[in-house]
Amino acid sequence: MPLDADFLSKLVCPKTRQPLRQASAEELSAVNGRIDSGEARSAGGETISDPVEEGLVPEGAAILYPVRDGVPVLLAEEAIELPDPSAR
């Protein structure tokens, strides 16, 4: 379920301080493909095994913050690197 637009407008990336937007279906698919292949790691180095159903992406950064049970996980070490679009 998408986050409330007013709530989302108040959120920023904890690392870059840039505004966040909902991840696109393409970005989620790319991240989940990396999870399925065992290649996805968090910025903290942890292997990610659970699919990401919803996420937030900062402007100008190739990372995704997962949203778990409707709660944005805005911890820099939990960010997931987005694959290079040219590699898709």
Map out the domains of the chain as residue ranges. Answer: 5-87
| List of long-range contacts for 66-74, beta carbons under 8 Å, 24+ apart | 67/3, 70/1, 70/3, 72/3, 72/11, 72/20, 74/11, 74/13, 74/14
CA atoms within 13 A on the CB side of 40: 25
pTM of the entire predicted model: 0.89
Q: Band the pLDDT of 32: cuts 50, 70, 90.
A: very high
SS3 of 58, please? Answer: strand
- Residue 2's pLDDT is what? 78
Taking residues 54-71, what's their average pLDDT?
94
Instruction: State yes or no: pLDDT of 69 exceeds 70.
Output: yes
Average model confidence (pLDDT) for the chain? 91
Regarding predicted confidence, which is higher, 85 or 80? Answer: 80
- Cα 23 from chain centre: 7
- Residue 86's pLDDT is what? 54
SS3 of 13, please? Answer: coil
